[in-house]
Structure 1
Amino acid sequence: MKAAEMNRERFAINKSYSIENGYPARRRSLVVDAKFETTINKQKQQSWLEEAQRLSCDGELSEEEVFLVQSPCEPDQSQQVALVVGLIDGVGALPRIIKTIENFKGTVLHVETRSCPRKGVAFDVLLKLDILREPLLNLLKSLRQGSAIASVKLLSEHHSSIKEPWFPKHISELDMCNHLMTKFEPDLDMDHPGFSDPEYRARRKEIADIAFTYRHGESIPRIKYREEEIETWKAVFIELEKLIPTHACKEYRMVWEALKNDCGYAADNIPQLQDVSNFMKRRTGFTLRPAAGLLTARDFLASLAFRVFQCTQYIRHHSSPHHSPEPDAIHELLGHAPLLAEPSFAQFSQELGLASLGASDEEIEKFATMYWFTVEFGLCREGDEIRAWGAGLLSSFGELQHSLSDKPDKRDFDPATTSVQPYQDQDYQDVYFVAQNLEDAQEKFRRWTVQTLSRPYEVRYEPFSQTVQILDSVDKMESLGAALKTEVMRLNNAIVKMKF
């Protein structure tokens, strides 16, 4: 919008509610408007800086922090800052920290965790925020009063740690990728079905603690599910099994029978994560890792790069068996697990995870949206029929039927448009994307990432050492070339032998 048009629009807005904003009820020139706003903003800024100086004298802000908060942005304009929060006992306090930030009207844009060598600090958590200046002061005060927090440091938005997001290089570093999104936590959200059920909340905490204390290489603890939890699982299992033959894609149908035979999938039995993980590993190399709840997109996608799926163990609240506002074991085991045991889908999931490593926050948003409309709610063609391959559909028989009806808009899968499609998570989707098949979705995704991904390097997963390698040197590329040469030679030998 041009400057003159912006001024005219601003004048019209000010005129329409001038009394509410303290303006005299008379016509003003734009110059007077500008001067008035400048005066008011200076008053706000001076008041705010005086508060910052007071907090500095009281020892609540460092001299560096006082300098950083004296930024040139307007007092009522949000700014991007970063906090490094030192946690004493681990990442269990992180959901509360994120909720505190939200209470001060801040938006969490980026989260990282790194182990810390400082005495008395287990982890340093880097949080990139968008927040107003006045709430930022109060947020710092509040965080420093937390019993689980050893230190809080404010960084500038140009800090190098923000420009270059950390990501795990070895599969064991997924121990640091367990940040929770607090949107649907039963302890924090009044709209959660289990909010007013103290017994359910205690059960959720019991199972969540397993995930928080789990470390790479350990066996996944087995859960002795209660009768009420089994009944909730049973209600979904029975209805879903009726629809699988006519609504699920062929890859899902093939694995489904194997899961019933090998992992004890049945209406009256909730499979154990370790058994399903062993089954998946034999077929595609994917394994399961317990998660305490809804993870941040960056952490969840990073896990896929190592062929690890972060999986919840708790069961949704019994009052709402056919819908859960968050991932639960019903969603994971009925929706995701079957296709993660299918080679082409497993490859697609890992490539999505690898593309997310080192990506910008804006790109993570696109990858998360892509994941939503493919892995969670994707459709594909099967001859003349359309079938479901998304886990969100295959674990919710109501939306599964809705997705294949004539009600929603079905569009051809195109990563460029799919990655920016608005979505909502409170009701059935209005739009679904249809791929020709899983291989078609995978090939289109590959081409799209090559064209759009901004990171200045490529990465690969090396399965023998379970590491992610950054291909940023000639030596690394020569090593990859030698490995590919060996595989090509083996392929040629196989072709020759098959001819005879």
Structure 2
Amino acid sequence: MREDIKYNNIIDGDEFARAQKAADDSAGLDHTQIDTEGFYVEQQYHKYSEENHRVWKTLWYKRWDVLEKQASETYLKGLRAINLNPDRVPLLFGEVPDPYEPGKTITGINEYLRPLTGWQSRGVPGYLPAKAFFSCLSRREFPSTIVIRPEDKMDYLPEPDIFHDVFGHVPLHADPVFADFLQTYGKAALLAGPEHEEALARLFWFTVEFGLISENGNLKVYGSGTISSHSESEYALTAPEGKGGRDNGQIERRPFNLDQVINTPFEIDHFQDIVYVLDSFEQLRDAMNDYANRVLEDSNAPAGA
């Protein structure tokens, strides 16, 4: 976490250091030797402040005003399935007393998610190195930053927090097809040689982060970068079609094609000039399976590794 941002620190200092060291050390290990449990931290729910819950609620309702019209139905169905609460920072596991309604309890989102697809949202202190992150995905574990941005950073945060990770990403993990895609991505990325790194980064960017999908003849957002951003989603869905780029207020919406996606560079600090549109999540899963086979052939790894 950046030191210049004043988070409410809900992570014990020793636990933070231990988890971060385990994640950093994984870079030098073979993927078969990595134990992802070492990366995770306890979510001490009682340490969330009134401001923390207020920030979550404000972000939720600000985004929800238009999200029902913009977001993929698969995302919306997943959000309902994991029972995210608009008024409270989400609990990941178990049950705790509701901080504002005595006598009531809050149930962790994983209690709903795991029975659906086997995925879990696991608490981490912040960014994980690539190999650690891929190891988690390969086990159907999604690393979720458990701190939440302070009120003075509500409009822009230069690193992930629990709103971006859980609100933006996790609802799609309740969909069996997307769940299969994401695990296959993690497995392939773990085995991939350097020649595949850029391609896999581009695939993740243009799908998991900024992907669009056509549903019943309408464009919808599903990538977390658009799901969690008013302006990004509005631009992706309504900017005039064209190759003039953001400087001319135009965007290219290309039909999803795996080989085209992995050969398209991206930039991270402005609206996207190019987005890719899926016909279905099955299309994404099947394309990922094909690419994973390429990785297996290049790595000489056995099928199912």
**Band the TM-score falls in, shorter-chain normalisation:** 0.7 to 0.9
Length, aligned pairs only: 264
Partner of 2:50: 227
CA contact (8 A) 1:345 1:438 kept: yes
Q: Is 2:17 aligned against 1:174?
A: no
The structure with the larger Rg is 1
Cα drift, residue 223 of structure 1 = 4.6
Cα drift, residue 304 of structure 1 = 0.9
Partner of 2:257: 414
Structure 1 CA distance for aligned equivalents of residues 89 and 62 of structure 2: 15
Structure 2 CA distance for aligned equivalents of residues 243 and 256 of structure 1: 15
Structure 2 CA distance for aligned equivalents of residues 421 and 334 of structure 1: 27
Change (3 A) 1:92 1:239: closer
* Bigger mean CA deviation after superposition, 399-408 or 280-289: 399-408
Cα drift, residue 92 of structure 1 = 4.2
Q: Give the alignment of 1:22-421 within 5 angstroms.
A: 90=18, 92=20, 112-113=25-26, 126=28, 166-168=30-32, 173-175=35-37, 178=39, 211=40, 214=41, 220-259=43-82, 262-263=83-84, 265-266=85-86, 268-274=87-93, 275-406=108-239, 407-421=250-264
Cα drift, residue 384 of structure 1 = 1.4
Structure 1 CA distance for aligned equivalents of residues 176 and 21 of structure 2: 37
Q: Percent identity?
A: 27
The C-alpha deviation readout for 1:116-155, integer Å capped at 9, x for no partner, is xxxxxxxxx63xxxxxxxxxxxxxxxxxxxxxxxxxxxxx
CA contact (8 A) 1:228 1:318 kept: yes
Unpaired runs of 5+ residues, structure 1, are 1-88, 96-110, 114-124, 127-164, 179-210, 461-469, 471-500
- AA at the equivalent of 1:434: V
Local SS of the residue matching 2:286: helix
Structure 1 CA distance for aligned equivalents of residues 31 and 54 of structure 2: 40
The C-alpha deviation readout for 1:420-447, integer Å capped at 9, x for no partner, is 3222222222211111110011112222
CA contact (8 A) 2:185 2:292 kept: no
**TM, length-normalised to structure 1:** 0.49
CA contact (8 A) 2:188 2:295 kept: no
- AA at the equivalent of 2:262: S
CA contact (8 A) 1:311 1:329 kept: yes
- AA at the equivalent of 1:271: P
CA contact (8 A) 2:31 2:135 kept: yes
Q: Is 2:280 aligned against 1:437?
A: yes
CA contact (8 A) 1:313 1:328 kept: yes
Cα drift, residue 112 of structure 1 = 4.9
Name the structure, 1 or 2, with higher relative contact order (CA <8 Å, separation 6+): 2
Cα drift, residue 286 of structure 1 = 0.2
**TM, length-normalised to structure 2:** 0.78
- AA at the equivalent of 1:404: L
Local SS of the residue matching 2:267: coil
Local SS of the residue matching 1:357: helix
- AA at the equivalent of 1:166: D
- AA at the equivalent of 2:223: G
Out of 289, 297, 301, which is 1:457 matched to?
301
State the 4+ residue runs in structure 1 displaced beyond 3 angstroms: 89-95
CA contact (8 A) 1:312 1:328 kept: yes
* Bigger mean CA deviation after superposition, 443-452 or 238-247: 443-452
Unpaired runs of 5+ residues, structure 2, are 1-16, 94-107, 240-249
Change (3 A) 1:308 1:452: closer
